[in-house]
Amino acid sequence: MKRLFLAAAAALFALSCAGAGAAGIKPGLVYDLGGKFDKSFNEGVYNGAVKFRADTGIDFRELEIQTDSQRVQALRNFARRGHDPILAVGFQYASSMDKVASEFPGTRFAIIDTVIDRPNVQSIVFKEHEGSFIVGVLAAMAAGSDRIGFVGGMDVPLIRRFACGYVQGARHAKPAIEVFQNMTGSTGAAWNDPVKGAELARSQFDRGAEVVYHAAGATGLGVLQAAADAGRLGIGVDSNQNHLHPGNVLTSMLKRVDVAAYDVFDSARRGVWKPGVRVFGLKEDGVGWSLDEYNEALVTPAMKAAADEAARRIIAGDIEVHDYVTGGECPVK
């Protein structure tokens, strides 16, 4: 009996050592209200984390919050259980992470879409205005008429940044184009209301919009659905959404949150993780647009050339895309 116990204890010890040796880090991941499977923003992060797990064999813990009040709780629980690094998806974690990061100075945190100035936090921000500029160019060229639209999720500066870049891109291609803009709401629920998204898209189609771009998480699924139902074009966001409605999704504005998530975990694994701000723009391949077998029939060579040219000029600094978040009020309507 005693020997059995010893053997079991030894086995357990060996197992835990092996676990610790192979893992090294215990990554934690908390999603935003849109949910893990929004086929867009959160799902992009999830895909990056899954790739990390496949490549390294290190598992990660994840949590989908249901209400705003769970943010602090979720981060604190992960930190208390020794998860490190902890990645929070979305700017709405800003105040919660600021608080929890100060409580656990020895834990490495990372946050996407906002900047937190703490010695143990890495802030990852994207130049969505640059990616949106490119899809704006594509939208303007794809629209036969002079009307296109934009549906945002929650009415916050971040989403205004998408809208502003999009309008600038559209005006760049067609100076006289009219861009309708709608926001779904002013609370977190605006990320997860496809019915409202579809109604907003329809209202823009009724006014003559031919292409509608969404930056609205799961709400955008309704926007793309409405575009497909109406036989118009939608533009996806964050993840590649071209496959959702082949032939009715012009392109997707890629925001490589998957790359960012992978990088956070992997740099921590290799011991090269650094706090501070990291910016992903066109130059860093952090934003872009998607072209695959689902939309190649929709994108003409002229459109592709114009998009590539615009991207080249933005990277070279010839075109300065106005950033709503830092620059304030969009210069174009």
Partner 1 sequence: MAVPVLDSTLRLSVPLILAALAGLFSERSGIIDIGLEGKMLGAAFAAAATAALTGSPWAGLAAGVGVSVLLAMVHGYACITHRGNQVVSGLALNILASGLTAVLGVAWFAQGGRTPQLPGEARFLLLEWPGAAALRDMPGLGAVYGELLSGHNLLVYLAFLAVPAVGWVLYRTRFGLRLRAAGENPHSVDAAGVPVPGLRYRALVCTGVLCGVAGTYLSLAQSAGFINDMTAGKGYIALAALIFGKWRPVPAMLACLLFGLLDAVAIRLQGTDIPGVGEVPVQLVQALPYILTVVLLAGFIGRAVPPRALGVPYVKER
Interface ranges with partner 1 (CB under 8 A): 35-38, 64, 155, 180-183, 185-186, 189, 192-196, 198-200, 202-203, 206, 218, 221-222, 225, 229, 244
Q: 64 vs 210, which CB is nearer to partner 1?
A: 64
d(CA 191, CA 42): 11
Strands 233-238 and 178-185: unpaired
Q: 86 vs 221, which CB is nearer to partner 1?
A: 221
Q: Where are the beta strands (DSSP E) in 49-206?
A: 61-64, 86-89, 109-112, 121-126, 147-154, 178-185
Count the neighbouring beta carbons within 10 Å of the beta carbon of residue 172. Answer: 20
Q: Where are the beta strands (DSSP E) in 28-171?
A: 28-31, 61-64, 86-89, 109-112, 121-126, 147-154
Closest by alpha carbon to 307, among 159, 128, 180, 172? 172
Q: 16 vs 186, which CB is nearer to partner 1?
A: 186
d(CA 299, CA 156): 31
The least distance separating partner 1 from the CB of residue 301, rounded to whole angstroms, comes to 31
The least distance separating partner 1 from the CB of residue 36, rounded to whole angstroms, comes to 5
Q: 159 vs 211, which CB is nearer to partner 1?
A: 159
The least distance separating partner 1 from the CB of residue 133, rounded to whole angstroms, comes to 21
Q: 38 vs 130, which CB is nearer to partner 1?
A: 38
113 in helix, strand or coil? coil
- Residue 178 CA, chain-centre distance (Å), reads 26
* Sequence-separated (6 or more) residues with CB below 8 Å from residue 246: 294, 295
d(CA 93, CA 68): 9
The least distance separating partner 1 from the CB of residue 305, rounded to whole angstroms, comes to 32
The least distance separating partner 1 from the CB of residue 184, rounded to whole angstroms, comes to 9
Q: 36 vs 304, which CB is nearer to partner 1?
A: 36
Residue 75 contacts residue 30 (beta carbons within 8 Å): yes
Q: 79 vs 215, which CB is nearer to partner 1?
A: 215
* Sequence-separated (6 or more) residues with CB below 8 Å from residue 226: 197, 198, 199, 201, 202, 205, 212, 234
d(CA 208, CA 273): 49
The least distance separating partner 1 from the CB of residue 122, rounded to whole angstroms, comes to 26
Q: 185 vs 327, which CB is nearer to partner 1?
A: 185
The least distance separating partner 1 from the CB of residue 62, rounded to whole angstroms, comes to 11
The least distance separating partner 1 from the CB of residue 64, rounded to whole angstroms, comes to 6
d(CA 278, CA 311): 20
